[in-house]
Structure 1
Amino acid sequence: MTRLKAISLYTGVGGLDFGFEAAGFETAVAVEMDPTACRALAANRRWPILGEDIHRLTAGQILSAGQLSRGEADVLIGGPPCQPFSKSGYWVRGDAKRLDDPRATTLEAYLHILEKAQPRAFLLENVHGLAFRGKDEGLEQILRGIEAVNRRCKTSYRPAVAVLNAADYGVPQLRQRVFIVGSRDGTPFSFPAPTHGALSENTESELQPFRTTWDALGDLPSLMNDPSLKMSGKWADLLPTIPEGENYLWHTKRGGGSALFGWRTRYWNFLLKIAKDRPSWTIQAQPGSATGPFHWANRKFSAVELSRLQTFPEGLVLPFSRNEIQRLLGNAVPSLMAEILAREIRRQLLGRRRQTSDLLLMPVRRGPAPPPQKLAPLPKKFRELIGNHSDHPGEGLGNAARMRLTVAA
């Protein structure tokens, strides 16, 4: 059977594409301006790649590279760069520039290609901050843009919008993203219901238990002596004193350790460690030296481990520095999430069913996880920090907020 054709924008390292590939799609053309991401794509797949800023390409060039005519592509997929709408922007600056940020024009570029290519269906992915209540101007821009495409082109794209957590679908990682899906002929799309959840006493639940980090990584070597994965910086020796599944809050007066910090005076990912029996927290693209999540063995993740947590296909070649790999994989969509949505697009909007019901990228179950490692004693160099530290005073009342008000005045 002929594989369905996808146009891929903002392809990155290929997280969406690998999932659509598993669901029976072929990337007819990929558009990605990052040279490192382009090298990664070329090392692993033989897709036509346009390594150029999308704003410098015409829709005709993209269609030509994919050997497609207008209306011939089965799906347009892509995740425009999400920094203008990222929640992390609020931590750093108290707010983000959002549509005032030049990177927000990537949304307009996506809509331009949607209009000119007119695929049978589309999927757009972004950080869930795109849909924050009261700060959803990016989402509103997309929806208005789709309405304008329909008016000009006599199409009937009817977008369905949902914020989904990848862990609810079998990805061993808590990662919320907004997805927008639509069909050219107006066929409505229904997002799949969650299939996984936390274990509870409710034995009547039809949900499967979350896939865990042990499911994803349990068969891999320990890598304890790999120097490239060793933590560095001021706080490296403090991580072994924090239990699995905890962060710096362990060392506050409300935690179980020593009172080294005030409650919520650091960002959530500070010294954050995964637990074997739970999904990981969201993998970061550009973490600092103490920004987690970190491996339960008190180190950074390897390339293979990051790929597993992102449910990428096995055997990818990533001949780059560890920092580059972290950036590429941290910015990607979990491929299992893409496979699940691609199957639903294929079934609901394109009238094509898969021959097998098994998800190709679903992690295997490995049984109960081993017990946590024994905690290390608090190093002497941190004992001088023990004291009666003040808690964070509340949202909008911290030092950064006061400084912003002073500057504004």
Structure 2
Amino acid sequence: MPRNSEKKKPKKVSGKPIENDAKPRVLDLFSGAGGLSCGLEQSGFEIAGGIDFFPKAIESFEANHHNARGLVADLTKTSIKTIENIAGGDIDLIVGGPSCQGFSTAGGLSKQIGRDESDPRNNLFSDYVRIVDHFQPSWLIFENVPGLLLYRQGTVALSIVSALNAIGYKIVPMILLAADYGVPQLRRRLVFVGTRTGSDIHFPAPTHGDENLWANYSLPFAHLSRLSTDDQIRHPHVTFEQACSDLPKLSEGETLHMVPYAGRATTDYQRQLRQGLKLVRQHQADRLADLDRYAAKHLLPGENWRALVKHDILPPRFKKIRPYDATTMLKRLQGDKPAYTITTKFNEATTGAFIHPSQPRTLSIREAARIQSFPDRFSFSGTFGHIRTQIGNAVPPLLAKALGEAILPQIMRSEFNKEIPAIRPTITISNSISEDEILQLKGAGKQMHQRKKKDPKQLELIKSAN
């Protein structure tokens, strides 16, 4: 039920007093298989329910979140009463990633091309706002493609901020790199975090980093690192080999299910995802097209389609590609580096950097899930294509876990009158920030320290908290 904005007494759920071990409850909109929910559950939240229009995704959601309810529904046609039945009581956090694929950077990073304003999926945000306005959770997390922040010099992103401000939420967008939070993948997501409690906005401080990552790239790639690194870096990024070297060797088109791992877990990441399992699940590689197969057999680690020009095997369309474009197409991954963004077509080498570092094939289902940081216990329902869609569209659970850990102490304080210690270092954005200042944020750390004398007002907006 909706809640008013007045300061509340310790709340009750379903008429029963809150127990000492009670957890904040989450409603996951546009949930997919539940990557966000998986990470939030790991950070200390209770998942109440998930809603998505894709039946196989909800089947996976329910199979992996045993105490949550799933609903297959189009939110543009779903009543609040139906959603209340799924929520089953008060909701403390609403999360979701309403599709805005018309703003994806996949078609190029120009602000004027590669976006389709007429794409109806871009309008799903209004349903997100409708549901948030009804349930009035104390916090919300809204994630989307980084291109949304770049589009029209940020005016679309500010429209989202304004819409949520209008229903009582102070909200800030940041582009986060999943690899900075222990995910072995150079995946960026735009994340809006908001609250109606009056608290400052908390983002997780990066725990991993590589200061040379974008050294050879020009803007807007550097612009996309919204949380800049400081001089006290943390751990190096997790690599492909550190994530996947314990998985059995696999041939093109082969499926291994419920078979032993190739050996003992040798890295912290492998131990974290295996969680004591002895058998591998859903380790399946697809059959390849002729060009993909040739590339998988001949390319060296780090090489892409340009290395095949001398082989005289590329179709005519490749002659139209400029040498500095499509740098991840037909690219072989490097075992000592993180993978690139996992998409829904990680089985096709012509769509991205999906060739295994040492085996003549593209990535398997389990490798893609590992790169996305799904635990090995997480099972996916459906055909190979259904599963690719679920994995490629997911928020990496470890990124979601970091987001949850950053805001959990604030939620426990505002909703349960319970103080818990900070779980992790956070980047804290003052709730006094204005819309005009939002797009000027450069993050905390090194850049802010360099500006300290020149821009004291900006420094007040961003505070590092340990």
TM-score range, shorter chain: 0.7 to 0.9
- Tell me the residue number matched to 1:249: 306
1:104 matches 2:112:
no
- Tell me the residue number matched to 1:209: 236
In 1, are the aligned partners of 2:27 and 2:93 still within 8 Å (CA)?
Answer: yes
1:49 matches 2:36:
no
- Give the secondary structure class of the aligned counterpart of 2:203: coil
2:105 maps to which of 81, 87, 93: 87
Alpha-carbon distance change, 316 to 355 in structure 1, aligned in 2, over 3 angstroms: farther
- Tell me the residue number matched to 2:83: 62
- Give the secondary structure class of the aligned counterpart of 2:167: helix
Q: Within 5 Å, which residues of 2 pair with 1:109-124?
A: 109-124=127-142
- Tell me the residue number matched to 1:274: 333
In 1, are the aligned partners of 2:329 and 2:349 still within 8 Å (CA)?
Answer: no
1:219 maps to a residue whose letter is D
Alpha-carbon distance change, 141 to 60 in structure 1, aligned in 2, over 3 angstroms: farther
- Tell me the residue number matched to 2:450: none
Alpha-carbon distance change, 142 to 65 in structure 1, aligned in 2, over 3 angstroms: same
2:25 maps to a residue whose letter is K
Structure with bigger strand share is 2
- Tell me the residue number matched to 1:395: none
| Structure 1 residue 57, shift from structure 2 partner | 1.4
**Cα deviation per residue 1:203-243 (whole Å; 9 max; x = unaligned)?**
x7432111111111011101135444342233421233222
2:351 maps to which of 288, 291, 294: 291
1:326 matches 2:388:
yes
In 1, are the aligned partners of 2:238 and 2:337 still within 8 Å (CA)?
Answer: yes
1:343 maps to which of 401, 405, 409: 405
Question: Mean Cα displacement is larger for which, 167-176 or 268-277?
Answer: 268-277
In 2, are the aligned partners of 1:346 and 1:353 still within 8 Å (CA)?
Answer: no
In 1, are the aligned partners of 2:202 and 2:407 still within 8 Å (CA)?
Answer: no
Q: Return the alpha-carbon distance in structure 1 between the equivalents of residues 402 and 44 of structure 2.
A: 11
1:10 matches 2:12:
no
Question: Mean Cα displacement is larger for which, 83-92 or 44-53?
Answer: 83-92
The RMSD of aligned alpha carbons is 2.8
2:26 maps to a residue whose letter is A
Q: Return the alpha-carbon distance in structure 2 between the equivalents of residues 34 and 180 of structure 1.
A: 24
2:162 maps to which of 140, 144, 154: 144
**Cα deviation per residue 1:259-300 (whole Å; 9 max; x = unaligned)?**
x86643763331022111111000011365522322112312
Q: Within 5 Å, which residues of 2 pair with 1:28-47?
A: 28-46=48-66, 47=68
- Give the secondary structure class of the aligned counterpart of 1:132: helix
TM-score by length of 2: 0.68
Q: Return the alpha-carbon distance in structure 1 between the equivalents of residues 360 and 188 of structure 2.
A: 25
1:264 matches 2:344:
no
Alpha-carbon distance change, 354 to 32 in structure 1, aligned in 2, over 3 angstroms: farther
Alpha-carbon distance change, 354 to 237 in structure 1, aligned in 2, over 3 angstroms: farther
Question: Mean Cα displacement is larger for which, 290-299 or 163-172?
Answer: 290-299
**Cα deviation per residue 1:74-108 (whole Å; 9 max; x = unaligned)?**
1000011131111124489942213x221111111
Q: Return the alpha-carbon distance in structure 1 between the equivalents of residues 25 and 193 of structure 2.
A: 16
Give aligned pairs, total: 342
1:57 maps to a residue whose letter is T
| Structure 1 residue 12, shift from structure 2 partner | 0.2
In 2, are the aligned partners of 1:111 and 1:142 still within 8 Å (CA)?
Answer: no
- Tell me the residue number matched to 1:310: 372
1:316 maps to a residue whose letter is F
- Tell me the residue number matched to 1:25: 45
Q: Return the alpha-carbon distance in structure 1 between the equivalents of residues 125 and 154 of structure 2.
A: 13
2:93 maps to which of 75, 98, 109: 75
- Tell me the residue number matched to 2:182: 170
In 1, are the aligned partners of 2:193 and 2:202 still within 8 Å (CA)?
Answer: no
Q: Return the alpha-carbon distance in structure 1 between the equivalents of residues 287 and 119 of structure 2.
A: 35
Q: Return the alpha-carbon distance in structure 2 between the equivalents of residues 89 and 77 of structure 1.
A: 27
- Give the secondary structure class of the aligned counterpart of 2:158: helix
1:214 maps to a residue whose letter is E
1:309 maps to a residue whose letter is I
In 1, are the aligned partners of 2:41 and 2:401 still within 8 Å (CA)?
Answer: yes
In 1, are the aligned partners of 2:149 and 2:157 still within 8 Å (CA)?
Answer: yes
Q: Return the alpha-carbon distance in structure 2 between the equivalents of residues 184 and 58 of structure 1.
A: 24
- Give the secondary structure class of the aligned counterpart of 2:152: coil
TM-score by length of 1: 0.76
Q: Return the alpha-carbon distance in structure 1 between the equivalents of residues 119 and 190 of structure 2.
A: 19
1:44 maps to a residue whose letter is N
1:132 maps to a residue whose letter is L
In 2, are the aligned partners of 1:273 and 1:298 still within 8 Å (CA)?
Answer: no
Alpha-carbon distance change, 135 to 326 in structure 1, aligned in 2, over 3 angstroms: farther
**Cα deviation per residue 1:338-390 (whole Å; 9 max; x = unaligned)?**
0000011102344367789699xxxxxxxxxxxxxxxxxxxxxxxxxxxxxxx
Question: Mean Cα displacement is larger for which, 204-213 or 334-343?
Answer: 204-213
Alpha-carbon distance change, 319 to 110 in structure 1, aligned in 2, over 3 angstroms: closer
Alpha-carbon distance change, 61 to 321 in structure 1, aligned in 2, over 3 angstroms: closer
Alpha-carbon distance change, 233 to 251 in structure 1, aligned in 2, over 3 angstroms: closer
Question: Mean Cα displacement is larger for which, 350-359 or 27-36?
Answer: 350-359
